[in-house]
A and B are shown apart, each in its own frame.
Chain A
Amino acid sequence: DQQVKQNSPSLSVQEGRISILNCDYTNSMFDYFLWYKKYPAEGPTFLISISSIKDKNEDGRFTVFLNKSAKHLSLHIVPSQPGDSAVYFCAASVNFGNEKLTFGTGTRLTIIP
């Protein structure tokens, strides 16, 4: 039973445009969310996170939005660059007292030059 779902296996975006990656979750206990980025033949690397007390967190070209009522979060990349081509994983956790992360299946983002 997938508690964290990324329903789009792949996404192609023109360089310079906005990339929007989506993630849905079912467990209402989740209160901390993360995005990881993965290049081929490498392990995932942390990108950005958000606590449930916020609805937006921004870091340079990357912004994560959280809609708790809809149990939905999204990652916006503006502007998209060729180096952003990678697989993006959404992850969720109960922040306090638990280090366990539940990951989604990933979305492969391809930036078209």
Chain B
Amino acid sequence: DAGVIQSPRHEVTEMGQEVTLRCKPISGHNSLFWYRQTMMRGLELLIYFNNNVPIDDSGMPEDRFSAKMPNASFSTLKIQPSEPRDSAVYFCASSPRTSGRVQTQYFGPGTRLLVL
């Protein structure tokens, strides 16, 4: 079992550039979550999908952030334009949603983003 796969693992970019983070969930899982980790705020949920449909994007900080899930095995989180305050570790997680109950979420290794 490969687990949740994220790429790239590290990204350094300059302010104003577009950044795209990628995620492949665990096969068979039908819920996918994007989180951001910072020292001040811990793990914040940005958006989550169920069966490729965005369910809750209330955590997306602003219009510069967008996320897509074109199929069950792939999702992207895009930041355009990026700013230094976006520097953080971004995690993707997936879970086998059943009956709308909370299920264990399985996290990828994260993408460490640094915006200069």
Interface residues of A (CB under 8 A from B): 2, 6, 32, 34, 36, 41-46, 49, 89, 91, 93, 95-106
CA distance A54 to B60 in the complex (A): 34
Instruction: Number of B interface residues at 8 Å Cβ cutoff, please give it.
Output: 30
Chain B, 94-116, contact with A by CB distance < 8 Å: what is the 0/1 string? 01010011111111111000000
Cβ B42 vs Cβ A105 within 8 A: yes
With an 8 A cutoff between CB atoms, is B34 at the interface? no
Interface residues of B (CB under 8 A from A): 4, 31, 33, 35, 39-45, 48, 50, 55-56, 91, 93, 95, 97, 100-110
CA distance A49 to B105 in the complex (A): 12
Cβ A44 vs Cβ B43 within 8 A: yes
Q: Which of B40, B43, B109 is in CB contact (< 8 Å) with A103?
A: B43
Q: For the complex formed, measure the closest distance between the CB of B31 and the CB atoms of chain A, giving whole angstroms.
A: 6
Q: Which of B4, B48, B104, B107 is in CB contact (< 8 Å) with A100?
A: B48
Q: Which of A2, A43, A44, A101 is in CB contact (< 8 Å) with B102?
A: A101
CA distance A36 to B44 in the complex (A): 14
Cβ B41 vs Cβ A93 within 8 A: no
Collect the chain B residues with CB atoms within 8 Å of residue A42's CB: 109-110
Q: Which of A49, A95, A99, A106 is in CB contact (< 8 Å) with B95?
A: A99
Q: For the complex formed, measure the closest distance between the CB of A75 and the CB atoms of chain B, giving whole angstroms.
A: 16
Cβ B91 vs Cβ A44 within 8 A: yes
Cβ A99 vs Cβ B109 within 8 A: no
Cβ A103 vs Cβ B42 within 8 A: yes
Q: Which of B4, B42, B55, B100 is in CB contact (< 8 Å) with A96?
A: B100
CA distance A89 to B45 in the complex (A): 13
The residue of chain A having its C-beta at the shortest distance from the C-beta of B35 within the complex is A103
CA distance A96 to B102 in the complex (A): 7
Collect the chain B residues with CB atoms within 8 Å of residue A91's CB: 43
- Apart from the given pairs A42-B110, A43-B4, A99-B102, 15 other A-B contacts in the complex at a CB distance below 8 Å: A2-B41, A6-B42, A34-B104, A36-B107, A43-B91, A44-B91, A95-B102, A96-B100, A98-B102, A99-B33, A99-B97, A100-B45, A103-B45, A105-B41, A106-B42
